Amino acid sequence: MSVSEITLAEGKAANRRGAEFRRGLAAATPMLLGIIPYALVLGAQAAQRGLSVLEVPLMTGLNFAGGSEFAAIQLWTSPPHILLIAAITLLVNSRHFLMGAALAPFIRHLPKRQVFPALFLMCDESWAVGLADAQRRAAAGARPAFSLAFYLGAGLAVYLAWVAFTTCGAALGPVLGDVETYGFAMAFPAVFLVLLRGMWKGFAAARPWLVSLAVAALTYLLVPGACYVAAGALSGLVAAWFLAGET
């Protein structure tokens, strides 16, 4: 192959990656309508707990997981109970073990220098969008099924919006007062329901979801703390294992 042919092939590959990246951005854009108000709530609550405008983006940028950040802010005191906050963060983020396991078959061909940044950007939204796209591509016969550029486009859009608007919430928190009165907290459940709808494959496939929901709800009502997250995740995994042969 000549130098010109190599250059042309590399140019086409770069164009494909660019198109996939833009497709990921487009896929993530509707979700930002739900993420932005939720981020403002977290930033405002963090500021009201004593975190500065510089400390909030450090927290949300380094621990990119909204649920555990809300839990940490609720437990925040001066001085903070570091071990308790770390334990609750691990518990709330335990669902990422299952999310990563579901994504693993689609990314195992990638080198670690690409896998680790991709996993850092893995949150509920980017995971759901990336996994659903990989499943659609696999069903259509695309190889590889997982589009890293698409996933990075979606993940970076969510990440940058999250960090930027939690920072805005921290800056506006003293002005807004109690932001929960605005009803912004409903944004995240709404986004999550939309993500579930996009992954719906019928009632039979959804039975592990229902088991997870029931166990998590009962644990939330009966057991204090954030144990309901791990209980829901583990029960869903066990249900999926036992029901796998029936679907």
What one-character-per-residue DSSP string does 1-21 give? --HHHHHHHHHHHHHHHHHHH
- Write the DSSP symbol of residue 247: -
Q: Tell me, what's the pLDDT at 9? A: 47
* pLDDT category of residue 10 using cuts at 50, 70 and 90: very low
pLDDT of residue 5: 43
Cα dihedral 153, 155, 160, 163 in deg (nearest 10): 180
- Closest-CA residue to 135 (of 111, 158, 103): 103
Q: What average pLDDT score do residues 74-86 get?
A: 77
Start-to-end C-alpha separation, the chain: 48
In angstroms, the CA 233 to CA 208 distance is 10
Q: At what angle do helices 148-176 and 112-120 cross, to 10 degrees?
A: 30
Helical H segments across the chain, by residue range: 3-48, 55-62, 66-75, 82-92, 95-107, 112-120, 124-139, 148-176, 187-198, 203-222, 227-243
**Between these two residues, 37 and 196, which has the higher pLDDT value?**
37
- What are the pLDDT digits (tens) for 136-192? 899 888 888 899 999 999 999 999 999 999 999 999 877 766 666 666 666 666 666
Whether the predicted pLDDT of 200 surpasses 90: no
Distance CA 169, CA 180 (A): 12
pLDDT surpasses 90 at 75: no
Instruction: Examine the pLDDT at 8 and tell me if it is beyond 50.
Output: no
- Cα–Cα–Cα angle for 199, 202, 208, rounded to 5 degrees: 75
Q: Name the average pLDDT for the chain.
A: 81
Tokens of 162: 């999250």
User: What integer is the mean pLDDT of 13-19?
Assistant: 79
Judge contact between 77 and 226, C-beta under 8 A: no
The residue-averaged pLDDT of 199-219 equals 78
